[in-house]
């Protein structure tokens, strides 16, 4: 890795699940220590997650020295010192209405992200295994999802502040068809963070765009950003960064786009990369 490029890095942006967090969705002792060293060295440590702000663990949002969190795949950036939203890039009502034909099928679970919460149909949350959700995914959703009756009505009622729509599939052929068809719809972005979901955001919503805006607000540019990720919702972030680091457990598409590949999240890949690339 070119030392001239590395010397310009001032912002370290981390995806959470599959990247900064280990297989137990926790910060390992080694990762905590490496983040503390990064903060002490003067780096801006930024969370860049697909999670809604209200579902990010307290041990992340309250981590000493971490001030900013890019949430909902770039739809909203939060100042963790105040809890205030400092940037938004949301879905439009027109875009939501245009994708309603894909949302009405009962065998596709819908989750909607807005105002710090994630809402899902109550009967879906009571039957998560039916939708192919993993055991760890079930536990996570039981803790972070708010059940409701009539999620599509709630979606339309709050279309003006919708950050993200997450679709979960038991049928992988249907998921492949949705990926193909929704990818041709104007006014939205389509990414994924698991093998069984699709995440729909605004036309220009991405972690990469949110980080670009944040860097500008800090008086910095893209040459100052090093980004870490593991799935396709991290792709634009890694492409926009001066240095994109893919985890050893990352999807092949992300590894191909990365400038450097580190160890898996189960082996403290973030800490390994920070030490190898930046000496921290």
List, for residues 231-263, the tens digit of each pLDDT value.
Answer: 999 999 999 999 999 999 999 999 999 999 999
Domain end call among 180, 202, 224? 202
Residues 227, 268 within the same domain: yes
Residues 103 and 172 in one domain: yes
The 10 Å CB-count burial string (b at 16+, else e) for 217-245 is eeebeeebbbbbbbbbbbbbbbebbbbbb
**pLDDT at res. 42:** 97
Boundary residue ending a domain (202, 221, 242): 202
At 97-132, the pLDDT tens digits run 999 999 998 789 999 999 999 999 999 998 888 887
Question: Structural domain tally of the chain?
Answer: 2
Question: For position 48, which CATH number holds?
Answer: 3.40.50.1000
Could you tell me if 114 and 197 lie in one domain? yes
**Do 269 and 225 have their domain in common?**
yes
| Pair (194, 252) in one structural domain | no
Q: Is 156 found in the same domain as 60? A: no
Examine the fold and report which residue of 172, 202, 232 is the final residue of a domain before the chain moves on.
Answer: 202
* Sign of the CA dihedral with 269 first, then 71, 58, and 243 last: positive
Structural domain for 26, as ranges: 3-89+206-278
For 65, left (φ over 0), alpha (ψ -120 to 50), or beta?
A: left
Own/partner pairs, 36-40, CB within 8 angstroms, 24+ separation:
36/64, 36/65, 37/274, 37/280, 38/12, 38/274, 38/278, 38/280, 39/64, 39/65, 39/66, 40/65
Q: 151 and 250: one domain?
A: no
78 and 131 both lie in a single domain: no
**In this structure, are 27 and 110 located in the same domain?**
no
Residues 149 and 118 in one domain: yes
Same domain, 68 and 108: no
Beta partners for 148?
121
Q: In this predicted structure, what is the pLDDT of residue 269?
A: 98
Quick: pLDDT tens for 201-210.
999 999 999 9
Domain of 148, CATH number, reads 3.30.1240.10
Question: Backbone phi, then psi, for 33, in 5-degree steps?
Answer: -65, -40
Question: Which residues in the chain land under pLDDT 50?
Answer: none
Burial tier of 265 (Cβ tally within 10 Å: 0-12, 13-18, 19+): buried
Is residue 11 domain-shared with residue 74, that is, in the same domain?
yes
């Amino acid at each position: 890795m070119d030392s001239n490029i590395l010397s310009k890095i001032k912002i370290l942006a981390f995806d959470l699940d599959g990247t900064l967090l280990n297989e137990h969705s926790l910060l390992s002792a080694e990762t905590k220590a490496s983040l503390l060293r990064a903060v002490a060295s003067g780096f801006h440590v930024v969370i860049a997650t697909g999670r809604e702000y209200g579902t990010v663990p307290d041990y992340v949002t309250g981590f000493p020295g971490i001030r900013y969190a890019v949430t909902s795949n770039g739809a909203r950036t939060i100042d963790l010192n105040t809890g205030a939203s400092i940037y938004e890039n949301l879905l439009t009502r027109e875009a939501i209405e245009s994708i309603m034909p894909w949302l009405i099928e009962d065998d596709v679970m819908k989750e909607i992200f807005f105002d710090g919460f994630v809402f899902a149909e109550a009967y879906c949350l009571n039957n998560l295994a039916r939708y192919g959700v993993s055991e760890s995914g079930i536990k996570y959703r039981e803790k972070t999802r708010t059940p409701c009756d009539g999620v599509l009505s709630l979606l339309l009622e709050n279309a003006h502040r919708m950050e993200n729509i997450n679709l979960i599939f038991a049928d992988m052929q249907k998921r492949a068809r949705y990926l193909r068809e929704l990818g041709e719809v104007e006014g939205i972005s389509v990414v994924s963070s698991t093998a069984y979901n699709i995440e729909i955001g605004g036309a220009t919503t991405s972690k990469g765009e949110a980080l670009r805006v944040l860097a500008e607000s800090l008086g910095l540019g893209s040459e100052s950003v090093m980004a870490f990720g593991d799935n396709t919702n991290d792709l634009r972030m890694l492409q926009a960064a001066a240095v994109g680091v893919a985890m050893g457990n990352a999807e092949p598409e992300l590894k191909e786009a990365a400038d450097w590949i580190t160890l898996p999240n189960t082996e403290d890949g973030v800490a390994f990369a920070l030490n190898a690339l930046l000496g921290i």
